[in-house]
Amino acid sequence: MKKHYFSLVVSRGAELTDAVADSLYEAGCDDATPGMCEGILTVDFHREAASLEQAIQTAIADVHRAGLGVERVEIDAERVGPAA
């Protein structure tokens, strides 16, 4: 399987606390790094999956399982494609 790199921007109002980080990890986001920038919580993934679509779908499901909403997906164009 290929590793896919992308970020999920969490719905407004969420903050990165130890409890949120633990919830993300326990929900299956052990291949991700949560972070805050200018009051926005993001979760940066490096997920192995058969396709980028599958990687994103499972990541969104995991973030929802942690009790958070997803506002949007951001994909680093430099990390997509055959060289990624």
CATH code at position 36: 3.30.70.100
Higher pLDDT pick, 78 / 14: 14
Domain count along the chain: 1
Domain residue limits at 24: 2-79
pLDDT band per the 50, 70, 90 thresholds, residue 84: very low
Model confidence at 42: pLDDT above 90: yes
Cα atoms in the Cβ-side hemisphere of radius 13 Å centred on 9: 10
- The number of beta carbons lying within 10 Å of the beta carbon of residue 10 is 24
Asked, for residue 10, whether it belongs to a domain, the answer is yes
Does the predicted model carry a pTM greater than 0.85? yes
* Collapsed DSSP state (helix, strand, coil) of residue 15: coil
Task: Answer whether 7's CB lies under 8 Å from 63's CB.
Answer: no
Asked if 10 and 41 count as a contact pair (C-beta separation under 8 A), the reply is yes
| Radius of gyration from C-alpha coordinates of the chain | 12
* Mean pLDDT score, 23-51: 97
